[in-house]
Structure 1
């Protein structure tokens, strides 16, 4: 793969699902695993691909049910996404890697990084780390339907169908609502983020309507030595809104995360 062009992609065959992934094998640099947001795909990272691809080996994943991956038969949970990504890591024989996750992908990345010495560094963008029924975003997430999502993002159903002709967009949306509103142990990492020991950078768009400034700051305070960046003139889709800023920050941070030493 040279530019997320889907010419060298492969499927990891699990017992109930097929997980699509692509890799770049030309760079001698450290490995980054790219984890996209809910109802998205690895194509979310195209805006920053040229800024990071030359310095890293990239593993891009379409998470279960998203992009070219099948939804399978199991309930969609963050724990299941984590298990799928960890199965891919084992399949590829990765002993050390960094994680870059947006929104849902960042939530999965938090879960993977907690207490995991194989994670070299972590960057999350617009990723919540907990939720409750009192959270201002809860009702918003719970109210999403295939129809309302298509009204907000008219191209989404067609884009999904083009990537996954056998997929069921309505079923995926309904599964994601269950994922987003699950306060249990299979859901958000919650206080487990305090067990993240690798260099960590938390990013959010200044206008993010899902991850508040206070929630991002509290995540930073719970992760030893974590850094935080609030991206101006960007919303929840900060990667799309300000790719040039985020691409450079991510590149420099992940290239030498040891320069940002976690607190002892």
Structure 2
């Protein structure tokens, strides 16, 4: 699904190993929007359009995705977080709200850890803080990803979206290889999650690719749900958890409730 919104500015920013594409939509306070694996920032569709009604939304095509070439370096959450920091620096934005889904959620999480001075509020959508947070089925599928699957993906929505915008459509197998290689590494960011200072909202589907117990553990790492909130709410901190009922990992990105939930958190006093 593509977005009906039209960017008012776009371009490329030099980063380590290549350059990253960005597009700016709407006016107002800056909000960085980071897409999921094998997608582009435009895949958010109506979510992007809704967010841009009251915000300056900076959509970024992460390494190898959309209009950004794969370049030679290995793909990692840490490197892509540095790319996002470079885009903000290029645009002269000292601090922004950040919202990322799946692969983009991990990138946003790393941005808050590696560049805390750049993140005002953080919204993490359908993303675990550790590799073990994925259901086995999903973990096995991601680790099996390789360029050999490219032929079988022809005609799929993900492949069609890539062909629509990619500078070189022949790079699709390269993207699959790089993601598959990235997914071989285990990670556990629990200690670093505890250090995040930006108010953070976690948003998941009730039938997500992330384990339900892991979702609860994620919120607890942020200090959430560890005690009763008290009648006056004094027991709460600045972090929030939202579960969208009847949603999945594959539908949440364009679910109308996602934008409304995120806006309510980002715009809260």
Q: Which residue does 2:230 correspond to in 1?
A: none
How many residues align structurally? Answer: 249
Displacement after TM superposition at 1:98 (Å): 0.6
* Shift in alpha-carbon separation, 1:135–1:213, aligned structure 2, 3 A: closer
Of 136-145 and 84-93, more deviation after overlay is shown by: 136-145
Helix, strand or coil at the partner of 2:128: coil
| TM-score between the two structures when normalised by the length of structure 2 | 0.83
SS at structure 1 position matched to 2:122: strand
Residue number in structure 2 paired with 1:143: 144
Shift of 1:153: 7.4
Q: Deviations over 1:30-67 (max 9, x none)?
A: 21000001111001222213322122111110011100
Deviations 1:230-263 (A, max 9, x none): 111111124345x21111111111112xx4xxxx
Query: 2:229 — aligned with what?
Result: none
Matched residue SS, 1:83: helix
Q: Within 5 A, what are the aligned runs for 1:225-244?
A: 225=237, 226-240=239-253, 243-244=255-256
1:158 pairs with 2:160: yes
CA positional deviation for 1:145: 3.6
Give SS of 2:194's match: helix
Matches within 5 A, 1:224-263: 224=223, 225=237, 226-240=239-253, 243-256=255-268, 259=269
Structure 2 distance, partners of 1:127, 1:153, is: 27
Q: Work out whether 1:208 is the aligned partner of 2:188.
A: no
2:126 aligns with: 126
Q: After superposition, where does 1:1-264 map in structure 2 within 5 Å? A: 4-5=5-6, 8-24=9-25, 27=27, 29-114=28-113, 116-132=116-132, 136=136, 137-146=138-147, 148=149, 150-151=152-153, 154-167=156-169, 168-183=171-186, 189-209=189-209, 211-224=210-223, 225=237, 226-240=239-253, 243-256=255-268, 259=269
The whole-number CA distance in structure 1 between the counterparts of 2:190 and 2:70 is 25
Deviation larger for 51-60 or 10-19? 10-19
Secondary structure of 1:94's match? coil
Tell me: CA distance 1:153–1:110, structure 2 relative to 1, closer, same or farther (3 Å). Answer: farther
What is the distance in 2 between the residues matched to 1:251 and 1:6? 20
- Verify the 8 A CA contact 2:5 2:49 in the aligned structure 1: no
Q: Distance in 2 between matches of 1:8 and 1:120?
A: 22
The two structures, once aligned, show a CA RMSD in angstroms of: 2.5
Matched-pair contact (CA < 8 Å) for 1:106–1:124: yes
Q: Cα deviation per residue 1:74-108 (whole Å; 9 max; x = unaligned)? A: 11111111111111111112112110000010001
Deviation per CA, 1:160-186: give whole Å up to 9, x if none. Answer: 1221141411110111112223125xx
Per-residue CA deviations over 1:112-145 (Å, capped at 9, x if unaligned) read 1127143111111111211149962432321234
